[in-house]
């Protein structure tokens, strides 16, 4: 089964003024935020069964912070594209090219 990301055609995250091309800085920030979220998820998975509740709390805090950072940057991309955003997902989003980045760290793995 194809993941959401594999089934989508790739396009630049953000075009510069008058569609001059992708904004490499923003694209790099979004991809780095996704990697941080994936790393936080892996860390949480590794300590989820730990007997130290403080360690688990830290992993949860780190995971949530990474998720929020990624979703914030994703919203910025959608706003820059001129798409209305509701809870991090463009309102009325339809079609395969609306989002080219995963909405969860699991979708981005692979």
Nearest Cα residue to 65 out of 29, 37, 103, 35:
37
CB 24 within 8 A of CB 60: no
Written in H, E and C, the secondary structure of 6-17 is: CCCCCCCCCECH
Read off the pLDDT of residues 52-72 as tens digits, 9 standing for 90 and up. 999 999 999 999 999 999 999
Read off the pLDDT of residues 87-102 as tens digits, 9 standing for 90 and up. 655 454 433 333 455 6
Q: Tell me if the pTM is above 0.75.
A: no
pLDDT of 60 reads: 95
CB 44 within 8 A of CB 59: yes
Read off the pLDDT of residues 12-58 as tens digits, 9 standing for 90 and up. 555 555 454 457 788 889 999 999 999 999 999 999 888 899 999 99
């Amino acid at each position: 089964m194809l993941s959401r990301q594999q089934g989508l055609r790739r396009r630049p995250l953000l075009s510069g003024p008058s569609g001059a091309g992708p904004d490499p800085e923003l694209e790099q920030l979004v991809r780095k935020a996704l990697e941080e979220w994936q790393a936080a998820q892996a860390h949480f998975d590794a300590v989820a069964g730990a007997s130290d509740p403080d360690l688990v709390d830290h992993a949860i805090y780190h995971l949530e912070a990474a998720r929020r950072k990624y979703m914030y940057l994703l919203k910025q991309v959608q706003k820059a594209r001129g798409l209305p955003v509701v809870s991090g997902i463009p309102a009325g989003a339809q079609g395969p090219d609306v989002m080219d980045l995963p909405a969860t760290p699991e979708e981005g793995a692979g």
